[in-house]
Structure 1
């Protein structure tokens, strides 16, 4: 039997519920809505009210009438964030709760003593909301843009967060500080998830999945191929691992025009040979049941269940034994599903939606089967991975069990001494790649020092509320040291565990033969430098300066000091989805292909090594190292020879027939490709002296070039003034008018459309600058509206100009500022005779005046001015 319920009492605020999570003890769950976190009791879900009446329709249908009397189930309400919260997660030990928000912060809360909610009478609605004392613990301000996801390590000691700023940050909870910043994605990092074996940290952007080693924080696997055709139109993803860490599942897959959730197998170097497909829209949440179930046909292979939520408003439940879903619930919500969470018992599931509601699903044993008892599950994990101790992570393969015994001997000897610093023998490894692509690892011994661990600064993080090994079997993972020469016996454990056998381990995931076609293959990354995959416009990544890697094509802009390069370029294949029927591909060797309706339309060859590209329905441009730009018309014809730049291209944008490039030495150039003319060639050095400070470039629909910096400031080139003008900055968002109008420009949609299809109008730029609000530089409302009109004029944005103009007229009328109001109306009405500039942003000034007079007529104090200028307009019309 399957029971489905929509508890309406779970929604306290208006708006979507972006995240939901069940506590490890199953007695409470948390939701986040707008800026608040709500913790609810689950007792009412598991014990619904008895029906007051029953009406039997036929042998199969019976209607139960339930009591609709409202009852408060709220345990605690937390309100510490200034902007909407994107993700919440209880720690595996159940003592802490982490949240991340659009205000660029990550918060942690803790509860000293959890209440027994089964026998607790909750407060009456509206009185004493917090019956359970969840206290604020720490606020991390390390990201410079929205934070989209958080994940706890299995030992509850580390917390990771991912952000719109393309980075992932790892925090030590006890030390209350960030210990590592991971940079490897060239786009928004939308998902983060710790491996239950505590060996990997998975991070995901639209086009890339990276698995990082938690011992060295280096990239181990980079996966891109399977996500090449993904749409990338979502805010975030919610991936997960199987209970034993053998499978990783996430969303954003696209297979044969069907949206899917690809599965990556641990024992096959995280290749994806299977997926769960069939949804009609993007898969957002893919959550493994944390409990393994009995397999009656083959007891040695456990059964895993997965819940998948999609933007098509449907939820599907999958079994690892079946190729089709076990259950599909359609039209469960009015909008897409954003979060899914299983209970630690394995029989309850709860999910949340963009429509602001929650759904609860209960499965009985006849549907899912019997859970594997905890002792038996521990034995199965021990047989597969070796002994699970408190000083080592789980082993990757059964062949490493002998090494585990050697580790145990080392640990016993190291613990015999009571001194805080002592000599120990640590096994490290030397890794080589053979010609056939296999990894050969040769251990070597060195003498290092082991530093005695310090006591916990805050909580006993080892206590766990869940008895199932999926939450507690993983061991502790120490904070990685910055000096590789200093290591501990825990580090020795990891180095021994990484000696993977060439044959790998036998998959325990599926009791069926895998498909013959491999969708994607992830190869181990041997270099510590982040790999870069070019997808759409940006193909570079900011790294620390290195003399051996920096491009030698950097030239200083005229009249300024030479700039230290801050970009490393790596040639990678390029794929552009121009529109639904057209796409452009370019290989590492420079072989280009333009596909129209799944057929090759034209092909060409470029030289120099491609690093980034941009395309419209009129032309395609490919930037190559060191400083070459190749252009092609839609037919494939080259309109002119390759363009030679002063330095390598750092940013590229296109709009209709115009191409805009910002070089590494801050030279801004724009051309009309179809006409073959130069529109702009200026230095951007007045804005910044370092290319790494530039966040993006773009072209407005009126052909104005715009540069946006990392601090949120945007500058447009003013052709008449022959200089840059500031059209959006951080203090603009402090204006009450700007703040109240921000709903017109959804920042979430803005952040997920940073490619060439983004329209660089004033609303977009102001919304982007609102992410860097400077509350110490706020200006008055009238002054801010004047700046807004001038910025709209500089960008040629007529819609934004009229929005600001009407608000400006209303503010001047309400403040009775007759002098400034009359001067502005005189400028709009113009002279009665003679020639004058009658246009502003392409609009007739007299038409603008007529609209603003309509706004002003509602104020009695401005009736005389309104009538006066209406008479002038009527006179000019007759004349």
Structure 2
């Protein structure tokens, strides 16, 4: 449908194209690409949200509309699982942002694949491939509006969760701020073109202005909206390109709907646009500033152009140089107007409606005026506001003035360190995708800048019947080329179908063929591939923090191993042996060679059935029960006093005829000391039990006992044995008995030592820790009933070098006992949601601790990373900040409890780095304790200059650069720096 309306002396063309229609489903948003060749719409699809990128040529030109070779739809995307409420192109045209009812924001980028595709369930071919490169999660409700800042550094989103989130577009998915001040659904957001403010409008009958300097509220305007009701789906306000005005959506004046004009000077709201019969839903300024010429003078007063859409189905276009609208259309749609967009040149206007249609309006220079050039706009804005956002990114700390020489020196050092860490100078024009592509090409044997190609070498063997067999070689997948570039203007005449041209050549192949005189059978792996397979599958799995990948193993029939006599862990006494064999391809075990291929496909080999069914088979597979000594009889008085402890009955080590344990040195070294135990040595009627200390075959000393030895432990300071009669015997490194025999209430379940500290846990769950060097009990008879029940068992137990006991139990929790606090302390909980929601990993120091400390040994990195994904994206941003701080403070407190200095330093640095990143100045005041008193006082000070053997002020010196990394905290940095210099003088 076309209609031409006369307004004054102008003829303005309106078009509504029937092919741009969602068949009765609403189109909630529309936006024209900066190059003008395409535009995007967002709305409801079939059971999903729908984003469509359209070709603008058929809309402008009727001939292109009738040409079947000119595609109308460029790309159609249905990645959103709910209705899409807003689509917005970035100002440089590189990204398309979309947000919807699924609480997600998707950032789309073009991908030049050289071929067309179709969306599932549709016959329409996609001429371009757009994919969501980033998905932003942070809102807890439907997202209604989006807005890019003038230089694309920020992306603002608003939602029905009453919040506005500001995203760092240079470091997606980083959030710069979450603005909470509205008490109703936030339905519109817009940026100040100068970059100093952000405005939002909500159902709480207010428009709020936020400062970008500190993300605090500058002004709340409520008077024009007091009579308004929440009757509109969106409230799309907009800021004028000269920065002088905000025009709001739904406002009321004398009970009539208006678009309120809010002046930047004092945020006065005295003017408005009137004439619409129903609530205003969308406002959009022409991106250009226009200049008019007054005859007889050299004056060129500037003005702007604004389009307003309403629920009354009408659209009005206003010039700020005129008192009346330039043009008003009525009944252009069958339902409310939901969004408006202008082309970058300012001559084209498009609007979408709830009725699922789009209108196109074409202007000329004679109708709305001549726009200022880009340089003229820059000069105009700088004349009024100074340096503006498009000239330099105000969000970057680089634009903040460095106020002290110490801060300047620190930043210069940080730049030098960054250059030293970078192996080669990075080209600023080189995109991330180019780097990725070059790395991938190098992996496949190519060189940077060369096209992707297969390897130039292949291995050739022969089968039994003489046929050639080319060994397949793995090639890394071809990287996406040109991903992340600004898309070229879409050409209706260009061949975008991705036709591939083939040609032949008479030149011989340059691929080197390596022939091997090896006869291979079908289904067997060639020598090179087989060696690679065995290398990857037969290698022992890595353990500890570096092991993050699950090991795929084939069940293998094996006998239970005898407990190692040279085990270095004290936990081996009660642990059962489970063997996880690696995959091995053994021809001897394969009677039918043809079955190897099939079994490898299935990923495992069936376990051999050893006979027996039901209970008989279960009995056969059941491991031998552990031999346990019956507990000593308990008197009635004891039962009455410690009834709770009697509920625990921990497992004790199995009595063995002989076993060995290495207590010092590494295997193969000259200083290895081994304890050799021999039980049941017959001496006539009675039996004795002996322990020997041996160093590389040389007997150092030996001792005998009348009770069987259950467990031994030792360090270079002490040796200890635990016997069946609940006794403990402690010797020096020369075999001298340094303490009388210690009698416990039951046999020992766990026995471990570190330096001069000895820890024992009895069968009844009582904990003892002694300082042997001082002949003193550190912890006396503390019950584990506080932290475990009768169904639990101990997984691991050890004592630190500072005498702190640590117990890990089967509930995936680890504890230590504090003598100072007189209670158990929780160190680690695998199921702790706060732990898994922490977002501190980007703030960890670049150099980790040299040796994992006791706290790090309690948690497995693989378990944490595996569980973090589910928790991370389900936590609100502000709540995640609180959980991260909570977790870091808990880690520091746990390090203090374990007396682990290196770990405390690590977590302190991480804590301060995170606080500096978030700009939490009040929390960083924790450094006051590290600084201590600046001046000496006459009286004694309670401040201790050391913590865990480290000087507090040296720790402060180490974390000051972390504070200085945020220029917003430079005054705090300078304050600490000057005070430290004063103390050192």
Same fold? TM cut 0.5:
no
User: Based on CA coordinates, which of the two structures has the bigger radius of gyration?
Assistant: 2
| RCO higher in structure (CA 8 A, sep ≥6) | 1
Question: Structure 2-normalised TM-score?
Answer: 0.38
Question: Structure 1-normalised TM-score?
Answer: 0.43
